[in-house]
Amino acid sequence: MMNLDEHTITEEALRRIEHTPSPRLKAIMTGLLYHLHAFAREVQLTEQEWLEGIQFLTRTGQISNSVRQEMILLSDTLGLSQLVVAQNHSRPQAATEQTVFGPFHVEGAPSLLTHGADIAVGASGDPLWVVANVVDSRGHAVVDALVDVWQADGDGFYDVQDEGWRIDESRLRAIFTTDGDGRFSFRSVMPTSYPIPMDGPVGQMMNATNRHPMRPAHIHFMIRKDGFDTLVTHVFADGDEYLDSDAVFGVRSSCIGTYVPHEEGAITPAGTVSERRFYTLDYTFVLHGLDER
């Protein structure tokens, strides 16, 4: 069809995908085209603004690599990631809630089968001992669940943000397996609130819209076990000033943990007298069975 204008082009664009073989792809593309065109009309998008948007997305792709996913960060800061997560993981009230995956997870983290292992490997921050339980909706232990852990150090940086980072020198990330009681434990450092990376296109967007870049202190967990919906979540620090304004919209009240402070001279979970302030976290994760409604 020729001589299309701003009033007729949407109908023609939709007509051209009518014979898409995949019903699901057709549904997605139909919705995308319809709302994309409606957006352009609603804001009266100019050619210069359209070009700046294209350039922004191009820079977002160019800065991304195997350890920095600016596209995920963009999705996170727009609230899209948490929206998709929420509509795909509706769970009973008792189950631990799903949160955003974040851009700093990497495959191939060290597998540490020994509970109580030190994953900090000299990272900055006050010592933290974590003991956790993984149970099902009936409170029964989930044995041999795979638990992926990753977090930032006491200065708010992930190991992958170091230019010289290598997978065999990972710290503050590891994979554990729950024991016969559904438990796992490790030693780490107390997480702190930190800003998302602001040196790329997402940072430019945050500054342009006058938003703060801070995330409340947390540790990431991904727990996998056959028969259960894979849990991707955080355990946030109770009392953090950014719980109500997380830059990536990821906070759920059910995912806030109590990181208990202990002063110098207290006995650590390792049975030693601490020469500095340390923290402990005892937390229970409740998995949602795939056969549960």
Report the CATH number that the domain containing residue 276 is assigned in CATH: 2.60.130.10
Count CA within 13 A, CB hemisphere, residue 27. Answer: 3
Tell me: do 20 and 83 sit in the same domain.
Answer: no
Nearest CA to 70 out of 81, 59, 80, 84 is that of 59
Tell me: do 123 and 245 sit in the same domain.
Answer: yes
Query: What are the tens digits of pLDDT across the range 199-246?
Result: 999 999 999 999 999 999 999 999 999 999 999 999 999 999 999 999
Structural domain boundaries, residue 182: 70-286
Tell me: do 230 and 184 sit in the same domain.
Answer: yes
* Domain membership flag for residue 207: yes
pLDDT of residue 66: 78
Tell me: do 14 and 114 sit in the same domain.
Answer: no
Local confidence band at 113 (pLDDT 50, 70, 90 cut-offs): confident
User: Rounded to the nearest 5°, which phi and psi values hold at 176?
Assistant: -120, 165
**CB distance 135 to 285 below 8 Å:** yes
**CB distance 26 to 17 below 8 Å:** yes
Task: Write the CB contacts of 191 (distance below 8 Å, at least 6 apart in sequence).
Answer: 125, 128, 151, 152, 154, 217, 218, 219, 237
pLDDT at residue 293 tops 80: no
* Domain membership flag for residue 113: yes
Query: What are the tens digits of pLDDT across the range 14-41?
Result: 999 999 999 999 999 999 999 999 999 9
Element (H, E) at 178: none
Tell me: do 85 and 41 sit in the same domain.
Answer: no
* Domain membership flag for residue 150: yes
* Domain membership flag for residue 216: yes
Tell me: do 99 and 159 sit in the same domain.
Answer: yes
- Rounded Cα gap, residues 131 and 161, in angstroms: 27
Kindly state the DSSP code that residue 253 receives in the 8-state scheme: G
- E strands of the chain, at which residues? 117-118, 127-135, 146-150, 173-177, 183-189, 194-195, 214-215, 218-224, 231-237, 256-257, 259-262, 278-286
Local confidence band at 167 (pLDDT 50, 70, 90 cut-offs): confident
Nearest CA to 95 out of 224, 228, 236, 282 is that of 228
Task: Write the CB contacts of 13 (distance below 8 Å, at least 6 apart in sequence).
Answer: 33, 37
Structure tokens at 110: 């060290």
* Domain membership flag for residue 293: no
Does the pTM surpass 0.85? The reply is yes
* Total number of domains constituting the chain: 2
Query: What are the tens digits of pLDDT across the range 38-50?
Result: 999 999 999 999 9
Report CA-CA distances (Å) from 179 to 57, 134, 164, 185, 259.
Answer: 45, 10, 35, 10, 23
Supply the mean pLDDT for the chain.
Answer: 94
- What average pLDDT does the segment 144-150 reach? 96
Report helix angle 47-63 to 201-208, nearest 10. Answer: 130
pLDDT of residue 168: 78
Helix intervals (H) in the chain: 9-15, 23-43, 47-63, 70-77, 80-88, 201-208
Tell me: do 146 and 227 sit in the same domain.
Answer: yes
- Rounded Cα gap, residues 154 and 151, in angstroms: 10
% of the chain with per-residue pLDDT over 90 = 79
Query: What are the tens digits of pLDDT across the range 56-92?
Result: 999 999 999 877 899 999 999 999 999 999 999 888 8
Tell me: do 276 and 187 sit in the same domain.
Answer: yes
What count of residues does the chain have?
293
